[in-house]
A and B are shown apart, each in its own frame.
Chain A
Amino acid sequence: MNNLAGFIKKEFIHILRDPRTLIILFGLPVVQILIFGFVIRNEIQDVKIAILDYSKDDVTREITNKILSSGFFVLSENLTENNDIEEIFREGKIREVVIFESQFARKLEREGKASVQVLADASDPNSASLVVNYTRGIIFDYLKKASKEAAQPLKINAEVRMMYNPGLKSAFMFVPGTMALILMLVSAMMTSISIAREKETGTMEVLLVSPLRPIHIIVGKVTPYILLSCINAVVIIALGYFVFGLPVKGSLVLLLAETVLFISLALSLGILISTMASNQQVAMFLSVFVLMLPTILLSGFIFPIENMPKILQWVTFIVPPRYFIEILRSIMLKGTGFFNIWQQTTVLIGMTLFFIILSAVKFKTRLE
């Protein structure tokens, strides 16, 4: 065990002495989370909308003014009939249409209830969901104030319809997605590169000639990255919580346990890649093409899986981050317990074991 401790110590020195590694390890997560966060924030500024007001009374005008003066929305057009909606969406000029039913104020006053319909262009699902939430927020804010003055409790029935993507998922996709991406990057890419570096510089030759067993080399390489990845995961969760107000509704312990599972999976993938790559560049390319791109494109991180062509939807079943992102979203946003995510967890455990066994078999005790 002493030789393992020496190996781990050496790995830590490698990491801590290389500024580039440190930047990737600790700078990147923070920057990525902030970038993704602010991209989404900036999108909800001066969003172009159209209003279709069948009522044209004081209340609808006041709500419209409230919406337009919020700074989030800009009026692009006032529509006069339903038929215009489809066309204006198709032209791509606007992202949302707010429709007030006729006799809005009268209904609200007499029945205490009126309906407003919010249509959003959900071909960009994340922003559509944000736009709608902001609109609803403004309407309900008005309602709250109005209710205080009214004799009876008022109710506005805000009917939301997502155009072009009815099965829209939650808005806060970016934190779980970024977390999957960063853990994949740190764990898999950094380990595969660090093993490939030993091959490239020739130090692997001496390690192989030494009495060290492959398992020592693997464990020695992986241990520092497990620790660092855990730190990263906590930093990401904290950033999501404190900067963007992303809650962790479910159990934090379960969340961390699932994270450790995903880190193990990524590390075993990294070792597998290093057994195939003879130098750092190959390791890098393999990591990017085999791991990074699927994580970004096929995991549901940015593009909803439901929107993909059927064949790509099938491909996503073998993309590990897909399951991890589902687990994260369930725990963080929906607050579900283990009972609802045991299937995804089982798949991840199975994949981890598969990759560990495969890389242990492929890890060579010789140069060839």
Chain B
Amino acid sequence: MISISNISKTFGQIAALSNITLEIPAKQIFGFIGPDGAGKTTLFRLITTLMVPDSGAILVNGFDTVKEYRRIRMFTGYMPGRFSLYMDLTVEENLNFYATIFGTTLEKNYHLIKSVYSHIEPFRKRLAGKLSGGMKQKLALSCALIHNPEILVLDEPTTGVDAVSRKEFWELLHELKQKGMTIVVSTPYMDEAAKCDTIALVHKGRLLETDKPGKITGSFKEHLFAVSGENQFRLINDLRNYQPGVSAYLFGQAIHLSFNTKPDINHLKMHLAKSGHGDVKVEPIMPSVEDCFISSMTSSGNH
């Protein structure tokens, strides 16, 4: 369990984190969701004792990250944003090295990483620098797991990794959770949020919301529609000017349109037809985490 209370951290003039209070329960996958620059990496560095907060305190399994950092370092596994592998060492040498600095051996803890390592074991004589992104990621995870940590901190582990590897990776994380590991993960991909037990939405160093992914989408109070038609650029502008209390943003192939009061869809369609938009489809949809993120980002006033 990690309890974060009133954490603030600034770099020069920039506030990387402002007044974060949060509880990360044990034996869960806890996801931090937010765009680049939200402060996720800084928060992870504070949790892993790599940095000291300006104010506030973090307790990891009851140990303070400033005073008792040596204890925390014994049972924490950390995978930084960039795969921290030695590119001139082979897969096996990387693993052996990380095993020895944690006072163990690959043979002794092979069973702990087997599920991850088995994917890359055929390439164990290959230099880490010559692996694909997905394989590097699995090797970095194996290295972080080699000492059987109680808490695993993964900073954007799926960034720059192909879709298949990403899916496999999340399956691996769920296996680890089954074994009783506490996993803290960050991602800029909103679609990965649903795979976490609890998520925290962060933006510009602030915590927007913390809850189960289902609850966050369930508490979405606005009325959401997917609008698709020709000339998206003009369409999105016309939708934004339709009436107050409307927000419209591009979401993949469609435009997501949300109203804070129940709208008259027929009126909207007529309005659009008058503005010269021919074949426009408007359908009600269920909100995703990203819709919730954008909604709470705009309502908290720091868009």
Interface residues of A (CB under 8 A from B): 2-3, 5-7, 9-10, 13-14, 17-18, 201-203, 205-212, 216, 365-368
Contact = CB atoms under 8 A, between A and B. Distances in A.
Given A209-B48, A211-B102, A367-B45, A6 B78 contact: no
Contact of A6 (B48, B49, B70, B96): B96
Contact of A366 (B51, B87, B93, B102): B51
B98 A206 contact: yes
Contact of A368 (B51, B74, B76, B83): B51
Contacts of B81: 202
Given A13-B93, A14-B86, A211 B78 contact: no
Given A10-B89, A18-B88, A201-B87, A207 B101 contact: yes
Given A3-B103, A211-B70, A205 B84 contact: yes
B177 interface: no
Contacts of B69: 365-366
A5 B100 contact: yes
Nearest to B88: A17
A203 B84 contact: yes
Given A3-B103, A201-B84, A365-B69, 10 more contacts: A6-B99, A10-B86, A10-B89, A17-B88, A203-B86, A208-B50, A366-B49, A366-B52, A367-B45, A368-B51
B143 A206 contact: yes
30 contacts: A3-B101, A3-B103, A6-B96, A6-B97, A6-B99, A6-B101, A7-B101, A10-B89, A14-B86, A14-B89, A17-B88, A18-B88, A202-B81, A203-B84, A203-B85, A205-B45, A205-B84, A206-B80, A208-B50, A209-B49, A209-B50, A210-B98, A210-B101, A210-B102, A211-B74, A211-B103, A366-B51, A367-B45, A367-B51, A368-B52
Contacts of B97: 6-7, 9-10
Contacts of A3: 100-103
A207 B48 CA distance: 12
Interface in B32-89: 45, 48-52, 69-70, 73-74, 76, 78, 80-89
B88 A13 contact: yes
Among B84, B98, B143, the one with the most A-chain Cβ atoms within 10 Å of its Cβ is: B84
A220 to B, nearest CB: 9
